[in-house]
Amino acid sequence: MFLIYKSKMGEEELAPVVKSRPSSQTAFYAILAVLVVATAVLVDLNYGTPAERLVFSEVVIIWGALLLLYFIFNRPFIATSERFRKTESWVKRWLYTTNHKDIGILYIVTALFYAFVGGMLAEFMRTQLAVPQNHFLNPLEYNEAVSIHGLVMIFWFLSPLAFGFANYFVPLQIKAKDLAFPRLNALSYWTYAFSGLLVVLAFFLPGGDINGGWTLYSPLTSNTFMPGPGPTLGFAGFTLLIGSITISSINFIVTLVAERGPGVTWSKIPMFTWFILFTVVQMLFAFPDLLSGMFMLIADRLAGTIFFTSTAGGALLWDNIFWFFGHPEVYIVLLPAFGAICEVLPVFARKRLFGKNAILVATFALVVPFSFLVWGHHMFTTPIPPTEKMAFMVSTMGISLPFDVIVIAWLITITGGSLRLKTPFLFALASIVVFIIGGIAGVFLASVPLDMLFRGSYFVVAHFHYVMVGASVFGLFAAFYYWFPKMTGRMYNEFLGKLHFALSMISFNLLYFPMYFLMDMPRRIVTYNVPSWTLPNLLATIGGYIFGAVQFILVANFIQSMRNGAPAPANPWDADTPEWEPEQVLEEVNGGFTTPAKITPSLGLGVGNSPPIAKAPAVDALRSAQQAATTTQAGPSVVVRHHVSTRPIVLSGGISIALLGLAMLQYAYLGLPILAIGATIAVMSIVGWAWDDMNSVFRIPEGITEKWPFTQVSRLKLGMWSLIFSDVILFATILTGDAYIRINSPTWPAPNTLHPIVLGTISTFILLSSSPAAYMALDSIRKGSTRGMLSWLGVTLALGAIFDGFEFYEWWQLFSQHMYPSTSNALTTYFFTVGIHATHVLIGLLVMVYLIIKGLRGGFTKSNHEAVEMFGIYWSFVDALWVFIFAFFFLL
């Protein structure tokens, strides 16, 4: 039941206190002064020149590197005083935690930071549009601002905010001890946090940031129209975020399916958790599609493929790929807020939620599947066939019906209830009202003829801000106030809350309502000179300023209340969902957790499964957790499940640095070393991760949980299958794109002309033979034969390596005949698809190396060999993919 915590951190902590060294200190300040002066001179010399961005970016990078070195070598946190030691523990706790509550809070705080980034960009745009013919931003800057505002608000603020709450409350609502894979959860968080930094950093690289709109319409986003490492870095950051989201969705799906506490059957799952489930199911299937698109886009930019620059693929292919993801995405940002509203309304109306099952069925049976069937309504103004437009119009009208069910159920819930008009309720109500207004506008857009009229106008801008800012953000604000007492143990200030609500609602409408009247003003324009547009724009800007400023009330309220707010009772709203039940935690006595105690959540952040920060600084707490594991074994109801890992943050950092290097590769000498450093860090932390696993540093035993209908399926296997499902979408998108290009190409090489069938057949036979070999490895260890397993793994490894060798041999053959990805459509699709597949094989090879080493060290036994089974499933899946790829390029 217990997790034994092992880490080198303990020893590090005891490092001797650094004494002050006067001579080196003088030198330090001298160097610092020189650097500051040099920076000032550099900036001054280059200000306003074309080299401006490059120089600024280098200054930022150099200062960042210096700061890092300073911290690494000087370790200011360890030095000097007790206070610094505490700070260090505190910092380490937040950097290395894998606890779901901690990570939830990290998500929320980080999301607010990105809201500030995206909000500032919005204010810049509103300033530019306040009056006609303004010159506050130039056109390129405006385009960057629009694009990054849209992307950051959706992907780095709105969704992550929702997932902050999901992290914190989903495990509590289903009585799980944590998410199924806590380290992967930390990895999701850190890749999310860093990926946003990459996107922000891209502003300072040559070429600037992404400036083709949040829809990234290619070929506008190709090298021709958007050259430079800046946009590439932006795309790389976005791609990293997609990785983070995919890991996160798998984690939540497995948690919801297999980690529910005893007695928490499906029918007992609270509404918020249900809606998170709907959201992650959509995320699991929508994001891999976008990931393929991003890979193609980046390949177009860096490897010379011509997916979106040739006429065979081009803009319409991007449109399809993007919107197949894009429409589910609008529900992905909406549904968590709906879940929160479903929690808040009944509690504050003191009634049961009306039509709970109708809401669930409508969402799960209609919204979730249909969201993948309506993407064409974003393509009404493209030349796709009219019949298809009609089909998409009908399906779109259909998908609006379940939302009527939901809204009606909500309205019935609150009518006749004895309402408590507290801030959470007010925001929930506002969310519904605004959603109705925004939704009605959406119905107009679903009709082909009206959409022709409104497409690309400020009417659309008004529509989606009503839905996203109004419905989603207000819904999540409701969640914010509602759960604040649980998360902090203190009450927020009700007056400030209501003030925040009232001013937000007023300024929100002042900001966006005028835009409904700007039906003839195109969106994404940098300035205008039409008299009738002046007033609405001015009003919107005033509203925008107020709306932005008002949000600081919320921040102030929270900071103030967290420190000085009235202590919150355990269940301040009399809610009956499980997250309000008192949790069992271990009370800290003399630096060790010894006494299990029932407590109310008033001890500060992270109470419960992790040590309260107010009492125990992290490192000490971790040590105590270790002790507790031994001292409290008698009490089976008490589980210490605190585990930390340095791997997630280091791995994410390494990947981010590597991506920075990758983006700069073609433009600067610095690119290669940066790429190498980042890759080295990443590889080292992956090896470290494997090392941890091999030594069971971080082992989570399979608990007793509700798992119907997957009673027989292990946690790991569910994770593996979820991963495979998402990979199916990834490859389906790639192959559909290939087929699309092929059908559109005037000519296509016949079988056996470009790719020799003989070569393909040999490599296919080799790969297909490796699946049975992998099975034999599993069969051997099931019978207890480690030797047998190792030999069969060796065979599989050899076959896989030979297969990849064949693929690269064919590449080399093609290169030597001067055939490159850019040569033709056929070669673009071939190199790309086979390349992605070969990478999958390569990953499998690395996993096998790990399995073999672990096997050699006696890590697998007759009863403990799940990793071997998981590997076999993955490996056979990669083989199965090849069947289609082989057919597509060699036989058809």
The residue ranges that bind other proteins (CB under 8 A) are 285, 289, 316-317, 320-321, 324, 369, 372-373, 375-376, 379, 383-385, 388, 709-713, 721, 725, 728-729, 732-733, 736-737, 739-740, 743-744, 751-752, 757, 761, 764-765, 768-769, 771-772, 774-776, 779, 782, 869, 872-873, 876-877, 879-880, 883-884, 886-887, 891-892
**Coil vs helix vs strand at 727:** helix
Q: Which helix (H) or strand (E) is 594 found in, with range?
A: strand 592-599
Give backbone dihedrals phi and psi of 785, rounded to 5 degrees, phi first.
Answer: -95, 100
Q: Measured from the CB atom, is 545 or 667 closer to ligand HEM?
A: 545
* 147 contributes a contact to ligand HEM by CB under 6 A: yes
Which residues are bridge partners to 587 per DSSP?
A: 595
Nearest approach in angstroms of CB 828 to ligand HEM is 27
Phi, psi of 637 (to 5 degrees): -80, -10
Q: Does the protein bind ligand HEM through residue 146 (CB under 6 A)?
A: yes
Residue sitting closest to Cu ion (CB):
327
Nearest distance from residue 161's CB to ligand HEM, in Å?
9
Does the N-terminal peptide bond of residue 219 adopt cis geometry, omega within 30 degrees of 0?
yes
CB of 744 to other proteins, least distance (A): 6
Please report how close the Cβ of residue 738 comes to other proteins at its closest, in angstroms.
Answer: 11
Say how far apart CA 218 and CA 226 lie, in whole Å: 10
- Would you say 180 and 719 are in contact if contact means Cβ atoms under 8 Å apart? yes
Query: Which residue is associated with the tokens 């400023």?
Result: 549
Q: Can residue 214 be called a binding residue for ligand HEM (CB under 6 A)?
A: yes
- Phi, then psi, of 126 in degrees rounded to 5: -65, -35
Rounded CA separation 336/277 (Å): 9
Give the type of residue at 732.
A
Q: Which residues pair with 596 in a beta bridge?
A: 586
Q: Which of other proteins, Cu ion, ligand HEM, none does residue 524 bind (CB under 5 to 8 Å by kind)? A: ligand HEM
Taking the complex as a whole, the smallest distance from the CB of residue 158 to ligand HEM amounts, in Å, to: 5
Distance CA 197, CA 202 (A): 8
Q: Which is nearer to other proteins, 103 or 834 (CB)?
A: 834
332 lies in the site for ligand HEM, by CB under 6 A: no
Report the alpha-carbon distance of residue 102 to residue 645 in Å, rounded: 13
Considering only 172, 199, 286, 461, the residue that binds ligand HEM (CB under 6 A) is 461
Answer yes or no: are the C-beta atoms of 235 and 320 closer than 8 Å: no
Place of tokens 């890759």: 679
Q: What sign for the dihedral angle of Cα 756, 761, 762, 763?
A: positive
β-strand pairing of 583-589 with 592-599: antiparallel
What does the alpha-carbon distance between residue 219 and residue 415 come to, in Å, rounded to a whole number? 51
Query: Least Å distance between CB 181 and other proteins?
Result: 19
213 part of the interface to ligand HEM, by CB under 6 A: yes
Tell which one of 548, 565, 592, 678 touches ligand HEM (CB under 6 A): 548
> Do 362 and 369 form a contact (C-beta atoms < 8 A)?
no
Q: Is 126 a residue that touches Cu ion (CB under 5 A)?
A: no
Burial call 429-454: b when 16+ CB within 10 Å, e when fewer: bbbbebbbbbbebbeebbbbeebeeb
| Contact of residue 327 among ligand HEM, Cu ion, other proteins, none (CB under 5-8 Å per partner type) | Cu ion
d(CA 26, CA 15): 24
Residues touching ligand HEM: how many (CB under 6 A)? 26
**547, interface contact from ligand HEM, Cu ion, other proteins, none, CB < 5-8 Å by kind:** ligand HEM
Largest CA distance in the chain: 83
Q: Which stretch binds ligand HEM (CB under 6 A): 145-153, 341-349, 383-391, 676-684?
A: 145-153
Which residues in the 439-458 window bind ligand HEM by CB under 6 A?
none
Choose the one of other proteins, Cu ion, ligand HEM, none that binds residue 214, judging by a C-beta under 5 to 8 angstroms depending on kind: ligand HEM
Piece in contact with ligand HEM (CB under 6 A), picked from 72-80, 146-154, 422-430, 788-796: 146-154
53 binds Cu ion (CB under 5 A): no
From Cu ion, ligand HEM, other proteins, none, interface partner of 498 (C-beta below 5 to 8 A by class): none
Distance CA 582, CA 597 (A): 10
Q: Is 117 in the site for ligand HEM (CB under 6 A)?
A: no
Give the shortest CB-284-to-other proteins separation in angstroms.
9
Backbone angles phi, psi at 229, to 5 degrees: -75, -20
Sign of the torsion angle spanned by Cα atoms 406, 407, 412, 414 = positive
Query: Shortest Cβ distance from residue 243 to other proteins (Å)?
Result: 19
Shortest CB 467 distance to Cu ion, Å: 11
Identity of the residue, 533 or 882, whose beta carbon is nearer to ligand HEM in the bound complex: 533
Which residue, 463 or 642, has its beta carbon nearer to Cu ion? Answer: 463
- State how far the Cα of 133 lies from the Cα of 527, in Å rounded to an integer: 5
Binding to Cu ion, residues 284-343 (CB under 5 A): 327
Task: Provide φ and ψ at 593, rounded to 5°.
Answer: -80, 115
Choosing from 123, 319, 588, 692, the residue that interacts with ligand HEM (CB under 6 A) is 123
* 583 membership: H or E segment, kind and range: strand 583-589
Site string for ligand HEM, 52-91 (x = CB under 6 A): ----------------------------------------
Q: Is 713 helix (H, G, I), strand (E, B) or coil?
A: coil
Binding residues for ligand HEM restricted to 512-541, rule: CB under 6 A = 523-524
Residue 334 near which of Cu ion, ligand HEM, other proteins, none (CB within 5-8 Å, type-dependent)? none
Three state DSSP letters for 633-688: CCCCCCCCCCCECCHHHHHHHHHHHHHHHHHHCCCCCCHHHHHHHHHHHHHHHHHH
Nearer to other proteins, 376 or 654 (CB): 376
764 binds, among Cu ion, ligand HEM, other proteins, none (CB under 5 to 8 A by kind): other proteins
In the complex, the residues that contact ligand HEM under the rule CB under 6 A are: 119, 122-123, 125-126, 146-147, 149-150, 153-154, 157-158, 213-214, 461, 465, 468-469, 473, 511, 523-524, 544, 547-548
Contacts to Cu ion by CB under 5 A: 327
